Amino acid sequence: MFTRLAQQHRDFVQDLVMNLQALAIVLENRGYLASCYTCGGQLNSASFMVSLGDDHLIRFLVSDYGITWTEMRDDRELMKLEGAEAISQLQELADLVKCPLPAPSKPATVKTKVLSSLQLV
């Protein structure tokens, strides 16, 4: 039973890492500074970051040890979430990508949309 659960967890982390890589590509194609770095080729951990302008940064870390969402502005941590809450917040960001977003030259509009969605949590 535990062997099966361990494998399911590894599969979940790999799936999450692949989705983070895809999200970074979509955001880059829309003109945002975004990156997703992985360690090794097994996709068992990743560091995803996106800049929403005006020193507003979102960092999402995933590994076998946990999942963390951190939002920062002016190098100050505004919010830190872990586990399911972090994934829910990532979904909010992904949902914004599905809608036509203005170019990053208008960071106030994007920032307002992201912050308003963050306050829903």
Q: Give the HSE-up count for residue 107: Cα atoms under 13 Å, Cβ half-sphere.
A: 11
Identify the DSSP state of 120. Answer: T
Tens digits of per-residue pLDDT, 77-87?
999 999 999 99
Say what the pTM is: 0.77
What's the token pair of residue 23?
Answer: 């999200």
* Confidence check: pLDDT of 9 > 50: yes
What's the token pair of residue 50?
Answer: 């996106």
Helices 83-98 and 107-118 pack at an angle, to 10 degrees, of 140
**CA pair distance 90, 84, nearest whole angstrom:** 10
Q: Give backbone dihedrals phi and psi of 64, rounded to 5 degrees, phi first.
A: -65, -20
